[in-house]
Amino acid sequence: MMVIRPIRSSDYDSLHDIAVESGIGFTSLPVNEELLRNKIASSEASFSAEVSEPGEQSYLFVMEDGESGTAVGTSGIQAAVGLDDAFYHYHLSKVAHVSRELNVSNLVEILTFCNDYTGVTEICTLFLREKARKGSNGRLLSKFRFLFLQEHQHRFAKTVIAEMRGVSDDKGNSPFWRWLEEHFFSMDFPTADYLTGIGQKVFIAELMPKYPIYVSLLSKEAQAVIGKVHEKTRPALQLLQSEGFCCRGYVDIFDAGPTVEADLQHIRTARISRRLPIRIGDAQDALTNMVINTRVEDFRGVATPLLVDESKQEAIISSQAASALNLVDGDMVRFAPLKIKG
């Protein structure tokens, strides 16, 4: 059984392997020992902190293989982005150029440099190792976060976003960045991506064009990838869209990948989730649910058959699942179907 839990310092080697496998373009996991260890330490502090409102907390989870005890994937939640470090985007919009005298009207697209998402919650750092990509592992690793957000709402903002990886090739070359590099940065995409990942973002404010960019002035290759996702990211985007996330025109400043957003109360899994005490029993033929305990520092999450006894208002799960969640009879869980029909 796969178990979701908070990352620990002993997971460093596994996290490093995940970072290496994630490759160029996965900004939130730079292959840098100091940065990775700092991420772990920051997460441990966040899980143990008493929180009354969202702040600089960064929660990093791992998916642990119950048989081997090793972490095979990771996903995270940033409580409020942009508070201690600028959080940049381009916003894609349209302006009309009109001359009534000449009877000419042109609607053109522009990209405007902005910090509009400052203070919102971000779900981030989602990566599952190739060897673990089977069954519903990927779905669980992504969607359990909506249960955690719903259970601990005071720790997070009302708006939740996710940055989607944009188009780049196997060598990390981004068509969108290639145009920016040529005109403004003189720095290749892997270098810019790495510097951002290790927190060195000053160069963005110093070198990024300050005025809106007319999309028609970009290369055809750059125009073609604005708002598009990397082929390996399409399943993740489709999953978020099925949960109610949508893009409102914000794209990444490096690869132009879309940022999607949703109000927490409108996220499908969060909205339909239930909170009940458990009873350990036979639920073998029941529908598979994502189930989390209601704790923070001792958080656990699994995918397991769960049967609801409506008359007693109890959730019935197996002893194996209860053990994985560190629960006994009467403890509370939050749960939702792993696959939602319709």
Nearest to 90 by CA among 261, 233, 258: 258
Residue indicated by tokens 């110093």: 206
d(CA 272, CA 201): 39
- 97 included as an active-site residue: no
Q: How far apart are the first and last CA of the chain?
A: 27
The per-residue b/e assignment along 159-168, b for 16 or more CB within 10 angstroms, e otherwise, is ebbbbbbbbb
DSSP lists the bridge partners of residue 195 as none
Q: Which of 97, 152, 154, 230 is catalytic?
A: 230
Helix (H) or strand (E) holding 234: helix 234-242
CA gyration radius, the chain: 22
DSSP letters, 92-150, are EEEEEEEETTTTEEEEEEEEEEE-TTTT-EEEEEEEE-GGG-STTHHHHHHHHHHHHHH
| Residues with catalytic roles | 230
